[in-house]
Structure 1
């Protein structure tokens, strides 16, 4: 079986691999989701016992459900924001005690004792979304039809908050899609109250998504906050289980975005709020008795603020942990601070706070090489001089971590092996590994990773496995290039599909331009208000630099392909630089930035009405509408788009196609009926041969 078919059947070799891995707060168990094998899409709930080193199945959807059932609309939306295409159990939440867990399955509520392994269904008032158990382990909060409920283990249900036309306890589109805040309520440490978000989308523009392949079905109406338009109104409230109600106060007109919320035993609630253009933010502590807030830290950047995931948080000694940037005295670093004092060395690029062991923080960070990520243990206790960060992982690769009490879970990704290897440690001693039942990719790619140009841009080049030096090859630039995401990483799974392209007769080139993370904050933010110019210039310069180092790259035959932001850049490349790029495949591209969402677009381009031509200059429609100067400059494009995409709506591609047609520019289009932005269900893998045929026909011979 060839790669496209095998990848479609195995969800790119992820079915059967552990995912959604977490250490329980007491450190006694590692909980995770995994399907039964390499072609099984239905995830089951598993637990690894740290004391015994044994894992066991806790909940199997096939046994819990007599038949299939539709997901609630809110659950489908959450899975889309999480980019989750697996079926079965989508997510779970463990109790703060670590003794139990809850999950929703087809809208039904289930509770499990992690030690005993008992699973039972808890009656609910309606279809359940995002259940979470309280710190006492006796009550479960959940959302149903926009109302926030609390039910005890005997099924006694109470409505904590409900209101027509608004939702309680769910993250709005912007919070989930752009700030990665996927939840909308938080239990108090004593289990007597819930801090809940109220979301009113009444003023958000309504867009209508319709799949033309099913004309008998009504369109779906979504509240979509496009650039320059209205956002949802988000407020926070402390809801007492006895009926008490306290509003949380902050200047919401100035700081409308609620980016992060945490509430732990170490202190009261902490929230992060940002201005609309995200150049200034506040970390606020909340008084749970009055709802009044106090500023703990200010976040400021003339371009945009980039909070560190896992912050803010209370440290055991009461100080508040905040992530930010060190951009003075010659430093250009992404660091952690405790009450304003630096606690990580400025040579680290801190990516995430993963947990805590004793008084030490476990963090994920990059130290020099942006293609790698390592685990560090950071001392937070007073005493000594300077900062104290000890690197835990040693071998080359990309590592992720989860930690609680004395238990540390490390996931290792590498070019040397397939998938993620999860190892469990207790008091620094190895306890065991989580098994993977995923299929192994059919080959081992060996990309050449190096940095080029005076800007030290990370790149990767991959040749056919049977390549003979001296044989000139057409070049396939596989691109994303957008902020917040890297492609040039030392992870085998990122290169497996690219090896299929290489074996089809290409030198595959991958370039992380300025704007991608991992190098430095100034590298990240060089794209502010001008990402089309900066990114495309980096891509062209890096390609030229690579050709000097790799003489087998034939720059007279260059194609470029990408999805989402990568689709935008692919189309931009052939429109602006037809002298470099000879054809393009653009999947789900953003073509008109006034049609994309507020938080993402305004972060990088500002408001559409701020003046100037920023939006026009970065639009594909303006360029596409101009007839090519020379007939040979009209490079062929293949456009692909899901017709019910609620993130980058299909109007982007349809408008681009109209502009190309009016200007006489050649292009083809594949509408994906019923597909969202993920193009899940094997669609993207099944497109590969069509893309390959288009590229072979379009490139110069």
Structure 2
């Protein structure tokens, strides 16, 4: 489910520039403004600035960005505009005076042509469709990619810049840019039946990609996915608004049900020959990744069994379709799919990450799958591969080596030697956007309670070249508000499990008083809410809302239970086949630990969460009914039988194989245990965690004669947003906390 450490016994705190020093006079403190819901969700008072629209160019010294309709080249070392690559006034179709309202772009390899998108329309989490136009920088000619009616998806230049491949109406097309002749690669695409060149819903959501085709490095071939989803059951959502609500039907494979049958084919542009790759006789499996190698005509295919505990890398002859398995990665629980596979120039070796020694580390293999060496090792894990310097044989990666609560950039050579940290010393979290030549990287650094700093740094030694955004204005603005310091603690539960937590106390905290506690939980496999960073998106707005609650006298605590990430495979996979059991025990025992603290009112402990956190809240309020006084469950799974195959079966097996794993920790099965106040929130248009989940939980609570409150948002998806929606939602949630905790 994608919305989607620890070991320290000492209390850790992160200094924040927004915390009032104790030496300031009370009169000054009283002048501080309080945070309002409107500040967070309406006025954008605390909006963090970043470096928007940044796109590295082929020369790592420059980047491009849209500026008032112009496409402008900037020097990365100064941030100054160097030249206008495409003027907005040039983006007119022949015979028309109206400028093209561009919302995205991409260059071909030599940057002589630009593919512009307009009128982009989102579909699901990662998919969208647009009208695309090709602009020739030499002739200044703007041409529609297609003359056929209908928007296109995933339009992509071939590496040699002579063709563009795209998807329309579930079929793959290739346009010759010399003649603008459009050729249909496939013709059998049909809604809710056959998808070519894209992915079905569950692949997009759980394997994190939507474009289902790739050009070969020599531009001669196109490898593409075909999904036969004709046997996948349909889910029906009603769209409310007109006199008669409309039905929206799409293929959604729930746990234990049939998946799409997935095939991989190659299309040779010169001959129009299509060849099906041999992915094995078994159709009840996944193909979560394909990747062209550096060897001509050799395609890499990753094959994953239905239970997701065996991942194989296949090498396919793109001309004949013949394949052979070169590497197999297995796990007693499950194997995570990543984008860490990298083939090296020369066609002799590849890099891959695995958790086979208990932590995710980097390995070098020969092309036949024979292990050459393990490049990294230790009780920490790699979280991202950020770049590779082919000439020097250097791999750049982000890891948890300094602390599971932090992320830092490191570099190591392909001999496993010379590992060096490139992030500056000190706490916090770094996210990296590196140029393809690794000459420079953008570093997004933040700490809990501090706005991010975006800087340009040298890929050679990590040294600062230029600060691109320090959010100085926001830092100054924050000094005018009452903010509390976020502290990090580590404690042992009654079961002897060491857990990490974050604690937010009221700014005027008095240890001699008793305070109510609201626990915030997500808790899903591999996730983290306890991190030393500012957070982004809903994580940051939730942090601000927690600050607002602290102003009202609440202590807000978040605990990363067993099953969460950054602490190795054993900790993460301890919840396998019994999702919800250990997590609920940990949250309950964490609340019991908090209740022993002298400044906590043990009769006023509440919990809230969204998505997997909504599931955890519903479970905590029923299985731990004597501990929690109040809960807010937003968009929860309440029965894992209702959720999708890929995510659910990865952690629970199928319901046919493990029925108890599904039923023993379903909130629906424990509705009769509810004692505290519960608010249940859901969007009726949630394509991810269906409204059906809340309907089933409500039915169970009504049957058990339990009191509760519900709040539903018509046509809103899993994020429950749009217009005033978030402001409205959090106003209801705030009122519920104030009245019931």
The reply to whether TM is greater than 0.5 is: yes
| Cross-structure match for 1:250 | 279
Question: Superposition pairs for residues 113-512 of structure 1, below 5 Å?
Answer: 120-124=142-146, 125=148, 126-153=150-177, 155-165=180-190, 166-242=194-270, 243-251=272-280, 253=282, 256-265=285-294, 268-314=298-344, 318-327=348-357, 332-339=358-365, 340=371, 341-357=373-389, 358=391, 359-380=393-414, 382=415, 387-394=417-424, 395-403=426-434, 404-405=436-437, 406-415=439-448, 417-419=450-452, 421-425=454-458, 427-428=460-461, 430-435=464-469, 440=474, 442=478, 443=481, 444-453=483-492, 454-493=496-535, 494=540, 495-512=543-560
CA-based RMSD of the aligned residues comes to 3.2
SS of residue in 2 equivalent to 1:197: strand
Q: CA deviation digits over 1:537-596, x for unaligned, max 9?
A: 111223333455x53222210111111100010011011111111111111100111110
Alpha-carbon shift at residue 142 of structure 1 (Å): 1.4
Gaps of 5+ in 1: 37-42, 67-87
Give the CA deviation at 1:398.
1.2
- Tell whether the 8 Å contact from 2:380 to 2:566 is kept in structure 1 after alignment: no
Say which is worse superposed, 288-297 or 199-208, in terms of deviation.
288-297
The CA distance in 2 between the partners of 1:416 and 1:651, in whole Å, is 37
User: What's the CA shift for 1:692?
Assistant: 1.6
Hey, what's the Cα distance between the residues in 2 that align with 1:61 and 1:572?
54
Aligned to 2:679: 638
Is 1:104 paired with 2:117?
A: yes
Partner of 1:80: none
What is residue 710 of structure 2 aligned with on the other side?
Answer: 669
Conserved? CA contact 1:94–1:132, under 8 Å: no
Higher radius of gyration, 1 or 2: 2
SS at match of 1:450: strand
- In structure 2, stretches of 5+ residues that fail to align are 1-33, 94-100, 120-129, 366-370
Superimposed CA distance per residue, residues 2-24 of structure 1 (whole angstroms, 9 cap, x where no aligned partner):
54223324679568634575544
Check whether the contact 1:370–1:458 (CA below 8 A) recurs between aligned residues.
Answer: no
- Give the secondary structure class of the aligned counterpart of 1:679: coil
Q: Tell me what 1:40 maps to.
A: none
> What per-residue deviation string (whole Å, max 9, x for no partner) do you get for residues 59-96 of structure 1?
89999799xxxxxxxxxxxxxxxxxxxxx977655544
The answer to whether the 8 Å contact 2:523/2:612 transfers is yes
8 Å Cα contact 2:112/2:138 also seen in 1: no
Structure 1: how far apart are the matches of 2:593 and 2:284?
44
With over 3 angstroms needed to count, the CA separation of the structure-2 counterparts of 1:621 and 1:62, relative to structure 1, is farther
1:605 to 652, 660, 666: 652
Query: Which structure has more RCO (C-alpha within 8 Å, separation ≥ 6)?
Result: 2
> Which residue number in structure 2 is paired with residue 83 of structure 1?
none
Distance verdict in 2 for CA 1:683–1:280, change over 3 Å: same
User: What is residue 526 of structure 1 aligned with on the other side?
Assistant: 574
Going from structure 1 to structure 2, the CA distance change for 1:303 and 1:50 (only over 3 Å counts) comes to same
8 Å contact from structure 2 (residues 604, 629) kept in 1: yes
Q: Secondary structure at the match of 1:570?
A: helix
SS in 1 for 2:378: coil
Deviations 1:153-202 (A, max 9, x none): 46332222231421211122222211112321101111121111111211
Offset, 1:255: 6.6
Asked if the contact 1:379–1:389 (Cα under 8 Å) also holds between the matched residues in 2, the reply is yes
Task: Determine the structure 1 residue equivalent to 2:98.
Answer: none
Structure 2 contact 56–64 (Cα < 8 Å) conserved: yes
- Whether the 8 Å CA contact 2:155–2:165 is kept in 1: the answer is yes
Deviation at 1:436, TM superposition (A): 8.1
Deviation at residue 530 of structure 1 after TM alignment: 1.5
Once residues 639 and 335 of structure 2 are traced to their aligned partners in structure 1, the CA distance between those partners, rounded to angstroms, is 24
- Equivalent runs, 1:13-28 vs 2, <5 Å: 17-18=50-51, 23-24=56-57, 26-28=59-61
Could you tell me how far 1:686 is from its partner in structure 2?
2.6
1:392-448 Cα distance to aligned partner (Å, 9 max, x none): 113311112233212323222223631452424364464445458898374555211
**Counterpart secondary structure, 2:693:** helix
Q: Is the 8 A contact 1:272 1:312 kept in 2?
A: no
Alignment TM-score, normalising by the size of structure 2: 0.81
Query: Structure 1 residues 600 and 611, CA, compared in 2 at 3 Å: closer, same or farther?
Result: closer
| Pairwise CA distance, 1:227 | 0.4
Query: Which range moved further: 352-361 or 188-197?
Result: 352-361
Query: Residues 368-388 of structure 1, C-alpha deviation per residue, up to 9 Å, x if partnerless?
Result: 5211011111211x4xxx544
For 2:473 and 2:715, the matched residues in 1 are separated by 28
State which of 580, 589, 611 in structure 1 corresponds to 2:627: 580
Cα distance between partner residues in 2 of 1:371 and 1:269: 38
Q: Is the 8 A contact 1:584 1:636 kept in 2?
A: yes
Spell out, residue by residue over 1:522-548, the C-alpha distance to the aligned partner (whole angstroms, 9 max, x if none).
Answer: 111011011211101111223333455
The residue matched to 2:246 in structure 1 has which SS? Answer: coil
| Residues paired across the two proteins, number | 655
Shift of 1:503: 1.6
Q: Secondary structure at the match of 1:535?
A: helix
| Aligned twin of 2:126 | none
Residue 460 of structure 1 and its aligned partner are, at CA, apart by: 0.1
Residue 694 of structure 1 aligns with which residue? 736
Describe the SS at the equivalent of 2:267: strand
- Which residue in 2 is equivalent to 1:514? 562
Residue-by-residue CA offset, 1:630-650 (whole Å, 9 max, x unaligned): xxx522211111111110111
- Cα offset, 1:222, TM superposition: 0.9
Instruction: Please tell me whether residue 545 in structure 1 is matched to residue 573 in structure 2.
Output: no
Q: Are 1:365 and 1:373, in contact at CA under 8 Å, matched by a contact in 2?
A: yes
Deviation (angstroms), 1:48: 4.0
1:77 matched residue in structure 2 = none
For residues 551-570 of structure 1, the aligned pairs below 5 Å read 551-570=598-617
Task: Give the Cα separation in 1 of the matches to 2:345 and 2:604.
Answer: 56
Determine the C-alpha separation between the residues in 1 that align with 2:281 and 2:242.
42
Cα distance between partner residues in 2 of 1:615 and 1:6: 41
Does the aligned pair in 1 maintain the 2:451–2:471 contact within 8 Å? no
Q: Is the 8 A contact 1:17 1:438 kept in 2?
A: no
